[in-house]
Structure formats: structure tokens, C-alpha cells
Amino acid sequence: MKKISQLFLSFLLVLTLAGCSSKPAESGSTFKAGTYTAEAMGNNAPVKVEVTVTADTIEKIVILEHKETPSISDLALSEMPTKIVEVQGLGVDTISGATVTSDAILEAVALALEEAGADIEALKKISEKEVAKEADVEYKADVIIIGAGGAGMAAAVTAHQEGASVIIIEKMPRVGGNTILAGGALNAVDDGSETALANEDSVELHYNQTYEGGDKQGDPELVRELVSNAWDGVEWLQSLGMEFKEGTFTVLGGMWPRAHKPVEPVGTGFFNAYQEYIDTNENIDLHLEVTAKEFIVKDGEVIGVVAEGKTGNKVTLHANNGVVLATGGFGQNIEMRQEYNTIWKNLDESIKSTNHSGATGDGIALAKTVKAQLVQMENIQLLPMGDPETGSLSGNIEMAVENRIFVNDEGNRFVDEGARRDVMTAALFEQPNAHMWTILDSHDYPTGDEVNNFNESMNQLIKDKRAFKGDTLEELAEQIGVDPKNLVNAVEGFNSHVEAKTADEFGRTLYKDPINQGPYYAAARIPTVHHTMGGVKINTDAQVIGEDGNVILGLYAAGEVTGGIHGANRLGGNALTDTVVFGRIAGLSAAKNK
């Protein structure tokens, strides 16, 4: 194993321009010194800012009030004010994935500066690009990881625990990728435990459901690897300080109550744990806003990566042992969706996605350059649970699959709401406007202050008109504009099967409580692209397999960039398991190489 000392830090190759930060004075802008407040509409409510200026400097920007969605907007709220002050102008790039919040901040600051007498048009021309371009740099480490999502971070921490020095590069200004936006549900069975016995669950059942739920297209060896190492993954996360709630639940399309829910909202628990590890250890470094562009290959072996830094500078990364590709999927790449889709009628820009904006399939393009084998690229998963405005999973009011139904715009049920994700989405596409309502009652929301995975309370969603409430079903039907008779019939029919514990006309068998305790709640949902199950072929050591069937030396892959684990349909709750299990395997294999 190479020693940590081999990690040497940047040396300057080229020193590029100085272009010192431009002051508004240079563009002719001056201010009336003072403190000004203004607001502009964000995603959920106005964002209010306070801007302090001297005669020639924007000194301070504080966000006074906002109701933006946690984790998604955090970066915009912290970074945008800093960047504006840094640049001393308004030509600041918005934060990918939080564009609306970023724009709201820019607009509110512009309004405040206008009041301070600034020349807004001139300030808009002062951009980040004018700030000094950074120098080209080179780094070396035992293991280079591309992508700081779930799989990349699990690989990084594991490789480091195995004694390797590690550098992670991430193209976005934050870690997390799609993983941090995920609901947080992680499927794992602790075989023989009280919970598993009580749920009549086993690793074998997890295997069967994963394999059969993917129409037997998954590679049996990879599926076996996934389910057998899942619980070990949970214990490993706990050893890093991550906490899970008691018990298990059934996540949408998860087929069985074996999902573990982190204590912290969405996927933040994973990244707080990984970040803590990185922060408290030497020789494991994370570089944000560095985008992998090509592999460095020598004699058929991948030995490094050439990347681009934030300011367009060249970042060269040499790997002593191996490179881990953990770049996620291509849910946000419309061209690739169209190129590979053979299953859905249409996946053009009219179909939104739950994914973060960086899910553009870079890893697939990179893998192609070294002739990696791509498998099952047509297997693109949609969910019936997208927010009508953004396609994201936020605003989802379901707490667990058992206690809610879906009705279409006429107020009628149309599918087994415990079915596979592809089945539910295909059924939703057939409904008027391809639009539906999740309906549930107070069993899961005794007070309305309970929060969903996105830390959004029902009461807040109602205030924001993203969810609706009625003391009776008729009242709810009126609120959402569906036929009250149909809605009442739908709920009564459902309740009769809950009571009788019999399969209903759609074949649904997953039940817990009837829907009979007002107030009743509804929220609108649409089909949305969620997960690209096809990708780079790997073996059980997470080594990438070439078109010729041989291992590509030095290259490992894990997470959504890989293909052939989930087959035609990924079980809800298996993606996070995938990032942890195969991320760890990739990290271990890369660290042990040489």
C-alpha cells in the first residue's frame, strides 16, 4: 500500500491572470451608504434580504427571511450573498439545482441596491469570470474518486480506511448528487433479527424481490452482493456516526417493510457522516467544482484523470492505485434519455426529473472513451411522484405506502398503489392530464405539524398551496376540483378492502389503516424521471468490464453510473443500498489494487 506521504499538493504550472476583483466604482456605480432591505419571490415564499453598502462597496448581505426547501436551497442561501460580495457585482452564476432561490436572491439584492442608487445594469456586467482564473494544478493520491454523491463518498471513506490516500473531485459546488435529494430510505435486512422475523423478511426475500422486481434482468451475482452486504452497510454507516430511526417501513415501490429511515432529513445524514470523516482525517481531500473530462490511460490501464477547475483551469490527478467512477446517472440529460429510451412513449423535456442538475451522464461518456461495456441503458425509471412544478420529490405527502391512495383528476383510483414503480407510472400516463392526487387522512398527520422527508410540514404545504385539506372528503374534493362522489366511492371501496384484508380490484394487498379520520389531505403528483438503471458493467469487485469482456485495469465504478444490478425496475429503497454496498466495494478494490 502506498503511503500517505505520496499525496503531494498542488504545484503551479501556469499562473494566469490577476484580474483583481472589480469594484462597482470601476463600472461607474456608487451607492448611498446605508442598509437597505428588499424581497423577491423564491420557490415557496418571498426571500427577504438586507444589504449594507458604503459609498463604493457592497459590504454585507444577510438573508432575513425565507421559506425555501431545506438542503436543496441551502447552498444558494449561503453562497449567493458571499459571491455577490466577493465579485462586487450581480453577474454571479446561479447555483445549479437551486436556480429559483438563487434568482430570488439576485433580484432582491438588485432591488435593494437600486434603492441605494446603484447602476444595476452596470453591476450585472461585473461577473465571476472577471475574478482571477486559477492556476493549473496537479495532484497525486492512491485513489482518485470522481463524484461526491453517495457511492463516491462511501468509496472514498472505505479506501481511506484501508490505508489509501484519497482525492475526491465533484463538479458541483456541493456534495450529495442525487443521493442527498433521495427520500433517505435504505433497504437492508438484518437476517434473523427480531425486526426481520416480525416482518417475515429475510435476505433471501430481499434477493428474490430485487431480482424478480427487475424482471430477472439484474446480474444475479451483483444482486446477491447487494442484498448480502446491505445490513453490514447500515452498521458501517452507524460506525461513522449516522443514526437511523427505529423500525422499518415500506417505501414507494419498495414492496416490503425493510427500508431504514435516517434521523436527518432526505439524504443529509449520509453526507454529514462522510463529511465528518473527511474533516477529521488527513490525506482524504475533497475538491468541489472540479469536473472530470478524460481519463489518463497508460498501457491499457487507467492511471488518472484530467479535469477542469471552477475557473476553467486544468486539474490533473494521478492515481497510484485506481480511479473510481461514481458520477451518477443521466436523468437530466434529455439527449441521452431520448437516445437510449425504448420503453416510454416519450422522455423529452416535457417530462421533468427528480434529479439534481448535475445528473448528466458524464460518467457514461467517460467510460465509452476506454471502451467500457454499457448494459441495459434503456432501463430508465420514472416515478409517479413528481412535484407538478419542478418534478422533484419535495411536496410528497405520503408517509408510507400502506396508508394512501392515488386518484386521477376525476377522483377515481386507477392502480395498485403498492405496485412496482414502472407499473404505477405507466398507469398514471394513461390518466387525464397524466396528473393525480395522493389522498390520505389524519392517521399519519395527527396535528399537521408532522414533516415529510424534505422537512416540510403538512401545514406549511397547505399554506403554500402545495397540499390541500378538507374536514370531509367532499370538502377535499371541492378544494382539488375532483368529483366528490367519485372520491367518496374510491375511499369507501378502499376502506372495505382494508377491513376485509382482501386484494382489491387493482390487486393491492398492502394496507394498514383505513382512510376515515378527518381532516383529509391531498397533493398533486406527475410522472418524473428518477433513476437510470443502465450503465457501466461491473463485476462483484466493482471492476469495470470492457467491451471485450476483460477487466479495465485501474478503473472501478459504483452507484447509478453502473448498470445491470436493478434490471428493468429498481425497487424503492435499493438505490441508497447500492451506493453504500458497491461504493464500499469499489473503494476497497481500488485501495487494494497494487
What is the SS3 assignment for 550? Answer: coil
Kindly state the smallest distance separating residue 186's Cβ from ligand ADP, in Å.
12
- Residue 179 as a binder of ligand ADP (CB under 6 A): the answer is yes
How far apart are the C-alpha atoms of 35 and 52, rounded to whole Å?
A: 4
Total interface residues for ligand ADP by CB under 6 A: 26
- Continuous segment of H or E residues that includes residue 523: strand 520-532
Q: Read off φ and ψ for residue 528, nearest 5 degrees.
A: -150, 140
Kindly state the smallest distance separating residue 293's Cβ from ligand ADP, in Å.
7
- Residue 358 as a binder of ligand ADP (CB under 6 A): the answer is yes
- Continuous segment of H or E residues that includes residue 524: strand 520-532
- Residue 150 as a binder of ligand ADP (CB under 6 A): the answer is yes
Minimum CB distance to ligand ADP smaller for 48 or for 531: 531
**Segment lying near ligand ADP (by CB under 6 A), choices 14-22, 176-184, 221-229, 544-552:** 176-184
Binding ligand ADP by CB under 6 A: which of 7, 40, 63, 292? 292
The grid coordinates listed for 465 are 398551496
Kindly state the smallest distance separating residue 535's Cβ from ligand ADP, in Å.
9
Kindly state the smallest distance separating residue 51's Cβ from ligand ADP, in Å.
31
- Residue 569 as a binder of ligand ADP (CB under 6 A): the answer is no
CA distances from 137 to 15, 199, 316, 419 (A): 10, 54, 6, 51
Binding ligand ADP by CB under 6 A: which of 49, 92, 98, 146? 146
In the set 174, 337, 420, 421, the catalytic residue is: 421
Over the window 96 to 125, marking each residue x when it contacts ligand ADP by CB under 6 A and - when it does not, the resulting string is ------------------------------
What is the SS3 assignment for 138? Answer: strand
Kindly state the smallest distance separating residue 520's Cβ from ligand ADP, in Å.
35
**Segment lying near ligand ADP (by CB under 6 A), choices 171-179, 309-317, 378-386, 394-402:** 171-179
Binding ligand ADP by CB under 6 A: which of 103, 402, 456, 560? 560
**Segment lying near ligand ADP (by CB under 6 A), choices 167-175, 272-280, 346-354, 504-512:** 167-175
- Residue 490 as a binder of ligand ADP (CB under 6 A): the answer is no
How far apart are the C-alpha atoms of 82 and 520, rounded to whole Å?
A: 43
Q: Residue 9: what residue type?
A: L
Percentages helix, strand, coil for the chain, rounded to the nearest 5? 30, 25, 45
How far apart are the C-alpha atoms of 473 and 152, rounded to whole Å?
A: 46
Let me know if 448 is exposed, middle or buried by CB neighbors in 10 A (0-12, 13-18, 19+): middle
- Residue, CB closest to ligand ADP: 149
Sequential DSSP letters for 397-424: --SSGGG-EEEETTS---S-TTS-HHHH
Kindly state the smallest distance separating residue 292's Cβ from ligand ADP, in Å.
4
Kindly state the smallest distance separating residue 517's Cβ from ligand ADP, in Å.
37
Binding ligand ADP by CB under 6 A: which of 149, 214, 257, 262? 149
Minimum CB distance to ligand ADP smaller for 80 or for 169: 169
- Residue 173 as a binder of ligand ADP (CB under 6 A): the answer is no
**Segment lying near ligand ADP (by CB under 6 A), choices 149-157, 194-202, 276-284, 448-456:** 149-157
Q: 152-169: buried (b, 16+ CB within 10 Å) or exposed (e) per residue?
A: bbbbbbbbbbbebbbbbb
Q: Residue 67: what residue type?
A: K
How far apart are the C-alpha atoms of 226 and 235, rounded to whole Å?
A: 15
Over the window 303 to 342, marking each residue x when it contacts ligand ADP by CB under 6 A and - when it does not, the resulting string is -----------------------xxx--------------
Specify whether 421 is catalytic: yes
SS3 labels along 61-130: EEEEECCCCCCCCHHHHHHHHHHHHHHCCCECCCCCCCHHHHHHHHHHHHHHHHHCCCCHHHHHCCEHHH
| Cα Rg, the chain, nearest whole Å | 25
- Residue 577 as a binder of ligand ADP (CB under 6 A): the answer is no
Binding ligand ADP by CB under 6 A: which of 362, 398, 402, 456? 362
Binding ligand ADP by CB under 6 A: which of 97, 177, 218, 269? 177
How far apart are the C-alpha atoms of 421 and 559, rounded to whole Å?
A: 19
DSSP 457: B
Minimum CB distance to ligand ADP smaller for 113 or for 181: 181
How far apart are the C-alpha atoms of 155 and 160, rounded to whole Å?
A: 8
Active-site residues: which are they? 421
Question: Residue numbers of the site for ligand ADP (CB under 6 A)?
Answer: 146-152, 169-172, 177-179, 291-292, 326-328, 358-359, 362, 559-561, 579
